[in-house]
Amino acid sequence: MIFEIAIVEDQATASETLTDHLDTWAKERGHQISCHVYSSGEKLFATEDIIKKADIFFLDIRLSLEDDPAIMNGIQIAQNLRNKGFDGEIIFLTAFTEYVFQGYEVRAFHYLLKPVSFEPLMRCMDALTKDHSNQCYIFNDYKTTLQIPYNEIICFTSLKHSVDILTTKDIFKQRSTLNTIAGYLPDCFIRCHRSNIVNMKHIYKIEGTTISLSNHLTLQIGRSYLNDVRKAFMAFAVRMR
């Protein structure tokens, strides 16, 4: 696979170590990568073409100048990326575990504790490539067949004899059942109700029995699904190694 990677890290030694680890991982796994390093969010957004072509962003959460209110921290950079339409993967770099839960809003793929060592990074990148190796859901309504990227699917909702596929761009109606569809979905999808399957990448938060999604839609978790959903979401959202 080929990945364009952007790194926002203001410590030169840390960014050099990360790029070296990424190069080693890519060579061992037979992938191709191109890394672009920026020392601040301001420098990143001054060259916005990278937002269009990057697949992965590594963002240091606590940049050394963040005490200056004019300097963006990693969370703010991620928010700006999402606001500008970036739908790829965001991986945070942090020395402080309390920042983990702030990543829900921006759908962070992973957190790596600094200083980043090779083994945790390898596991993170292996998990990412596994997610990307089968990237699309095949939609077929007997007239049209198309590929819908899994990252764009927010949820599946059962309506009598059909299923609505709600994506970030459109809604597709397919004559099928949730049980049938569930058998084709990757691990980022979880059944939360007899009528709904959600993409955990689009969960903003879970509060009580209510799921808040990235498009501001809320869904109720069925009582019999509650424990499984909470456990699955925590395992998915807090991918600490």
Higher pLDDT, 95 or 30: 30
Q: pLDDT class for 1, splitting at 50, 70, 90?
A: confident
Domain residue extents for the chain: 2-133, 136-237
Whole-number Å distance between alpha carbons of 13 and 42 = 20
What is the overall mean pLDDT for the chain? 86
Top CATH class, 136-237: mainly beta
Q: Whole-model pTM above 0.85?
A: no
pLDDT, tens digit (0-9, with 9 covering 90-100), for 181-202: 888 888 889 999 999 999 998 9
pLDDT at position 149:
86
The full 3-state SS of the chain, as one line of letters, equals CEEEEEEECCCHHHHHHHHHHHHHHHHHHCCEEEEEEECCHHHHHCCCHHHHHCCEEEEECCCCCCCCCCCCCHHHHHHHHHHCCCCCEEEEEECCHHHHHHHHHHCCCEEEECCCCHHHHHHHHHHHHHHHHCCEEEEECCCCEEEEEHHHEEEEEEECCEEEEEECCCEEEECCCHHHHHCCCCCCEEEEECCEEEEHHHEEEEECCEEEECCCCEEECCHHHHHHHHHHHHHHHCCCC
Q: What pLDDT does residue 159 have? A: 87
Q: Is CATH 3.90.1150.10 the right assignment for the domain spanning 2-133?
A: no
Tell me the mean pLDDT in the region 141-159: 87
pLDDT digits (tens, 9 = 90+) for 40-68: 999 999 987 888 899 999 999 887 655 56
User: Which one is predicted more confidently, 61 or 5?
Assistant: 5
Reference 84, options 109, 110, 47, 58; nearest CA is 47
Q: Which residues pair with 218 in a beta bridge?
A: 212
Q: Do residues 224 and 212 lie in contact, with contact meaning Cβ atoms separated by under 8 Å? A: no
Q: Please indicate whether the domains covering 2-133 and 136-237 agree at the CATH topology level.
A: no
186 cis-preceded (ω within 30 degrees of 0): no
